[in-house]
Amino acid sequence: MIIDMPSTTTSQVNNKLVELRERGGAVALGRVLTLVIAADDDEHLEDAIDAANEASREHPSRVIVVAKGVRTAAARIDGQIRIGGDAGASEVIVLRLYGALASQGQSAVVPLLLPDAPIVTWWPSNGPKSPAADPLGALAQRRITDSAADKNPIRALTGRSKSYVEGDTDLAWTRLTHWRAQLVSALDLPPYEKVTTATVTGEADSPSTELLAGWLAEYLRVPVRRVKTTGAQGIVSVALERKSGAVEVHRPDGRVGTLTQPGQPTRRVALQRRTTQDCLVEELRRLDPDEIYEAALHGLAKLSTGRERKKPAARPAAKSGGGAVAKAAGTSVKEKASS
pLDDT at 316 > cutoff 70: no
Closest by CA to 38, choosing from 161, 183, 149, is 149
The pTM of the full predicted model, rounded to 2 decimals, is 0.86
Please report, in angstroms and rounded to a whole number, the separation of the first and last CA atoms in the chain: 36
Residues 6+ apart with CB under 8 A from 175: 148, 208, 234, 273, 274, 279
Burial class (CB in 10 A: 0-12, 13-18, 19+), 9: middle
pLDDT of residue 217: 97
Q: For the chain, what are the domain ranges?
A: 2-145, 177-337
Task: Give the DSSP letter of residue 115.
Answer: T
What's the chain's average pLDDT? 87
Q: From CA 299, how far away is CA 322, in angstroms rounded? A: 25
Interval 281-287 mean pLDDT:
93
Task: Give the DSSP letter of residue 262.
Answer: T
Cβ neighbours around 128 below 10 Å, total: 21
CATH architecture, range 177-337: 2-Layer Sandwich (3.30)
Cβ–Cβ < 8 Å for 256, 268:
yes
CA separation, residue 79 to residues 83, 93, 100 (Å): 13, 7, 16
- pLDDT tens track for 67-92: 998 888 999 999 999 987 777 777 89
pLDDT of residue 326: 36
pLDDT of residue 25: 57
pLDDT at 282 > cutoff 70: yes
- pLDDT tens track for 208-259: 999 999 999 999 999 999 999 987 889 999 999 999 999 999 999 888 999 9
- The rounded percent of the chain whose pLDDT value lies above 70 is 88
Cβ–Cβ < 8 Å for 207, 335:
no
Domain 2-145 bears CATH identifier 3.40.50: yes
Range 173-196 burial, b when 16+ CB lie within 10 A, else e: bbbbbbbbebbbebbeeebbbbbe
Query: pLDDT band at 62, cuts 50/70/90?
Result: very high
pLDDT at 291 > cutoff 80: yes
Range 94-109 burial, b when 16+ CB lie within 10 A, else e: bbbbbbebbeebeebb
Q: From CA 74, how far away is CA 278, in angstroms rounded? A: 39
Interhelix angle 291-299/323-337, rounded to 10 degrees, is 120
Q: Which range, of 2-6, 169-173, 216-220, 327-331, averages the lowest pLDDT? A: 327-331
- In three-state secondary structure terms, 294 is helix
- In three-state secondary structure terms, 37 is strand
Closest by CA to 293, choosing from 127, 123, 175, 138, is 175
Closest by CA to 119, choosing from 110, 128, 129, 127, is 110
pLDDT at 149 > cutoff 90: yes
Q: From CA 149, how far away is CA 208, in angstroms rounded? A: 12
Query: pLDDT band at 129, cuts 50/70/90?
Result: very high
